[in-house]
Chains A and B, each alone.
Chain A
């Protein structure tokens, strides 16, 4: 099954920008436009932040953006705010018709 690679942690100061990477293969991230990103605060259900690589659901701040290059997808958060501190997960459709998640990245706002 797909195991996407994310950094375990990233950090940034309020107002700064950070980028979280999500590396897969040509059988998942690189092969399809079906990459999504989720934010999860402790004890809460995940929240969809980006779908289909770069689209934001209604209600999600435009400080969040997604992109993809080759086998690596990225989530960028600009103008960091304290409320952005959370765990972030990427996911991608795979050639096996399944879905894989990354291991998650803990974002700390300094």
Chain B
């Protein structure tokens, strides 16, 4: 079945780095744009980043721009989020999610995310 499984979360000190992974299965990973979305404890959803189906474009929330990098490895059907310079405010559950539209570009990558992982928890604390 169509599935996304995140991993790589944990407890990390401020300023350190962490890389999250999202393993995709049950669909043609290379045909879909992918997002990272996070949710701080007791708070709402916050979009983090998107990568188009072909990896040609990547966009980031202002809160993570310059610190986080989204990427994908088609050969491994895996999405990544490299997080550098972590701050306490980055503490959250991180979800990967699939854009509903195949071969999306521009706004069509953001019309809806139809498959979500279960989330991985990142805690930034000294």
Residues of A within 8 A of B (CB): 1, 32-36, 38, 40, 45-48, 50-52, 55, 57, 87, 89, 91-93, 96-104
Residues from chain B with a CB closer than 8 A to the CB of A47 are 116
Q: Which of B61, B112, B113 has the most CB of A within 10 A?
A: B112
A and B contact pairs by CB, cutoff 8 A, 20 listed: A34-B107, A34-B108, A46-B116, A48-B100, A51-B111, A51-B112, A52-B111, A89-B44, A89-B45, A93-B111, A97-B59, A97-B107, A98-B61, A99-B35, A101-B37, A101-B44, A101-B45, A101-B46, A101-B47, A102-B44
Chain A binding surface SS class: strand
B60 → A minimal CB distance (Å):
7
Docked pose: A97 CA to B108 CA in angstroms: 10
Residues from chain B with a CB closer than 8 A to the CB of A51 are 100, 111-112, 114
With A1-B63, A101-B44, A101-B45 in contact, do A48 and B114 touch (Cβ < 8 Å)?
Answer: yes
In the complex formed, the residue of B with least CB distance to A6 is B44
Residues from chain A with a CB closer than 8 A to the CB of B47 are 91, 98-101
Q: Does B117 contact A (CB under 8 A)?
A: yes
Inter-chain contact B95/A50, CB cutoff 8 Å: no
Q: Does B26 contact A (CB under 8 A)?
A: no
Inter-chain contact A45/B116, CB cutoff 8 Å: yes
Q: Which of A93, A102, A104 has the most CB of B within 10 A?
A: A93
B23 → A minimal CB distance (Å):
15
**Given A1-B63, A92-B110, A104-B44, 17 further pairs, Cβ under 8 A:** A33-B107, A35-B111, A45-B95, A47-B116, A48-B112, A48-B113, A51-B112, A52-B112, A89-B44, A93-B107, A97-B59, A98-B50, A99-B110, A100-B47, A101-B45, A102-B44, A103-B44
In the complex formed, the residue of A with least CB distance to B112 is A51
Inter-chain contact B95/A46, CB cutoff 8 Å: yes
Residues from chain B with a CB closer than 8 A to the CB of A104 are 44-45
A65 → B minimal CB distance (Å):
15
